[in-house]
Structures are given as C-alpha cells and as structure tokens.
Amino acid sequence: MKRNWNRKIIIAFVILSFTAVKAQDSITNVIHKFKPYHDVRLTLGTQKYEIILPLLLENLGDIDEVYINSFSFHPDTYYAGAVYTTGSFSASYVYQITKKLGLGATMAYCSFYNNYLDAETNVIVGKSVRNHIGIYPKMYNTWFSRPKFSIYSSMGLGVGWVFKNNTVGEERTHKTYWNITGQYTLLGFTIGEKLYATGEILGYGTEGIVKIGVGYRFNSFKKL
C-alpha cells in the first residue's frame, strides 16, 4: 500500500514539472516586449566587381581610358596587371523603430589596385589604386524576428567618391570623382541578442555580395 503511494507521488512530480516548464515558456514570450533600440554593426564583404553599380558618372570621369580606334602616334606601351581588392569594410548604424522597420546609415570603403606592366618586357612600371568610399541612408525590413535570430532585407542609396592614384614611371596622376552608390541586400540575418553576429548573402553594391560581421544592440528588449 505504502509502495503505491510512493509511485503516485513520483508520477505527480513528473506531471507537475512538465506543467511548470510549459508555464515558464509562455511567460518568456510575454516578457520580451519590443522597444525601439540603437544598433551598430561592422562588416567585411566580398567585392567582385569594381564598378559597383552601373555608375555612369564614374565612367564619365574615366573617359581617358576609353579606347579610341584611330591612328595614334603614341600607342600604349604598358598594360594593367591583375586587379585585386581589399574587400569591403562597412560600418552601419541602425535605429530599429519597430519590430519590422529599421532606419540608419552606412559608410563603406573598398579599394582596388593593380600594377602596370611594360608591354615588351612585362616588368612592373607603375601601379594604380582606387579607393572607393560611400555614404548612404539605409532601410532595413526585418521579416522574421526572434530574440536571438532575425532575417531581414535592406536597401540604401547614396553618394560615393573614388580617389584614384596612378603612377607610371615618373608620371603621377590623381583624380577624384563622385558617383551614385549604395547597397541592396536580399537576405541578411543576425544571430545573438545584444552582441550578435551578422551575415548577408545575395547583396549587390558597395558592401559586397557576401558579408559577415558583428553588431551590438543597445537596450534591445525590455523585461516586464
């Protein structure tokens, strides 16, 4: 008889513990109530194209490089070697107004560089460095949000500058021109609560096609 009572007590505890766990879950959902917050993030991105957007203005600035097919007394004697990039560095600030909508600004930098080689000997005779800087407002649309995970898309359009330095032999040229620049990201995600990791794929623009980084949210959630 005593044995039966012990068994009943154990069964009751197990049932109570499950109940308690379930009760705790529902409480968690309730206590995370959204409150607007500030967010900063730093990212590195892969940059596959030097012409980041269809930058007509940039091309106009570079008109001296357009090949003109005519008889010239000064044929090219050197050529551009492989073009490398540092990748894209960007710093963003976001003010998350609602659970879905965030507004902010991004500053992005990337550099492209190549050597110039003599056409006859293939010896390096110069180099070219193009530093791109872009600043633009940006809008974030978070379409899936959990406390430690979110998925978003973003879009920004603004202005950029290109600082171009060319050195060939003794001849040095410096040119600065502006262009329209920006970034569109189809799919981005964050993992983490306050300090979080971020990643973006399917991007197009100054910040690159694929990028990863870290971010920090200030006072993101308020406990009731």
Partner 1 sequence: MKSTIFKLAILFIATLCFVSCQIQEPQTPPDYTKTGRIMFSFSDRNICFYSNLFDKLLRMNTYIQAADSDKQNVEDSYFESFKIRSKDNKTWYLINSGDTIYTINSDNKPFSSIGSRFSIKRMYCNPIIFENTGNNQWNIKTKNINLQDSIIATELNFNCTSDSIPKSFESADFNITGNTKFIVNQYNNQITFSCSITKSFKHLKNSSFCNFNIGACTLMAYNNSTLEEGSTQAEFEKLATDMQKIKIIYNNRTQTYTVGYSYNYSYNFDTNYDYYNFRY
Q: Which residues of this protein are in contact with partner 1, per CB under 8 A?
A: 44-50, 70-88, 112, 114, 117, 119-120, 122, 208, 211-212, 214
Q: Which helix (H) or strand (E) holds 133?
A: strand 124-146
Q: How many CB atoms lie within 10 A of CB 156?
A: 24
Secondary structure of residue 29 in the 3-state scheme: helix
Tell me how far CA of residue 201 lies from CA of 14, 45, 101, 193, in angstroms.
Answer: 46, 10, 20, 21
Nearer to partner 1, 5 or 73 (CB): 73
Nearer to partner 1, 10 or 42 (CB): 42
Nearer to partner 1, 40 or 214 (CB): 214
Which backbone phi and psi does 193 adopt, to 5 degrees?
-100, -80
Which backbone phi and psi does 82 adopt, to 5 degrees?
-60, 140
Q: How far is the CB of 196 from partner 1 (least distance, A)?
A: 13
CA 86 to chain centre: 14
Q: How far is the CB of 9 from partner 1 (least distance, A)?
A: 47
